[in-house]
Amino acid sequence: MPNRPDAQQPWEYKLVSMGNPLEPDVEQRANALGRLGWELAAIDAGVWIFKRHHAADAPSALEAIIEETVPVGDLATEVASTV
């Protein structure tokens, strides 16, 4: 049986200004976040709101540092080059 998160498990959110959704790099940036476990929850006034379960899918210390220091556009390029 797959490991299902408890309904009481807290969420972690990330707000990202993605700009024009028709720009070529927006899909690549969104996919990079998806590979890191982020799920698109909503879009409001050009800001994309991503969420993921906090406790079960907590990033490693290195991933947390990368997320804070590498812009999402650069991260997409890095992830794409490793796939």
CATH number of 11-77: 3.30.1370
Are 31 and 76 spatial neighbours (Cβ–Cβ below 8 Å)? yes
Domain ranges of the chain: 11-77
Which H or E run contains 14? strand 11-17
Distance CA 1, CA 76 (A): 32
Beta bridge partners of 17: 47
The pLDDT value given to residue 41: 96
Of 30, 19, 17, 13, which Cα lies nearest the Cα of 79?
Answer: 30
Binned at pLDDT 50, 70 and 90, residue 63 comes out as: low
Asked if residue 68 has pLDDT above 80, the reply is no
Asked if residue 56 has pLDDT above 70, the reply is no
Binned at pLDDT 50, 70 and 90, residue 1 comes out as: very low
Q: What is the pLDDT of residues 9-39, one digit of tens each?
A: 788 999 999 888 888 888 888 999 999 999 9
